[in-house]
Structure 1
Amino acid sequence: MPEFSAPNEIRIVRTYDAPVQAVWDAWTDPAQVAQWWGPRGFTLTTHSKDLRIGGTWRYTMHGPDGTDFPNKTTYHVVEPLRKLVYDHGATDDTPATVPRHGAVRRTGWQNPYGHDHGPGRC
């Protein structure tokens, strides 16, 4: 994995015991994302997902009390099966939630190997 790029950067790493394709699909396929995205008890409706640099994912998280939370994510890096970087927490009326050095917090997924090494290896 690349080193930290800023002294205030936090890096969280998780190893999945799954093939790279399955992990990529879990992050990029709207039907699969709906099974795990958001807080426990919430459901998710994807309105559109344009998985390319500059593309957006528009979705609504539905709270257990019936409150809807519209969201817009913008993709900054899309390298299939390798890396996905995006901002998080924006809407059409508000910017992404956590500013950082005049930019936004970026979150993502990265396969440090660049290809599938089999189960438990990525």
Structure 2
Amino acid sequence: MSELGPDRPDTMQHGDLNQSNVLRGTREDWQAIDPHGYVGEIAFECLTHLRDRWTELKRLPDPDRALRRRIEIFADAAEIDRERAMRWTHTRAVQAILRAGPHDGPRDDSDVHEWMAASLTD
């Protein structure tokens, strides 16, 4: 994780890039709505993008492979380094687990974060 911090580009990010926030546009083919407006590395967005369909991911015959493949597709489409996208996704999954903690009670997505973090651990 330590190698992710020092190299922070000043790239504008949506911050909540998921399927519900990408609509067919009138001025452009597609429009992203409801931005949170973060600045940083695009790879940070990968976990948010995966959230839309991660329950479907876990039902696939090889969910670990499918997870890595979807991260690769995101990285290729965003023209970013695949390994950094993997590391940011792993880091954000661990962060979500730590943020939820035992005091929040059960959450629908906590097991998915745990699976994702374990799957991306080298």
Scaled by the length of structure 1, the TM-score of the pair is: 0.23
Structure with more helix by fraction:
2
Structure 1 or 2: larger strand share? 1
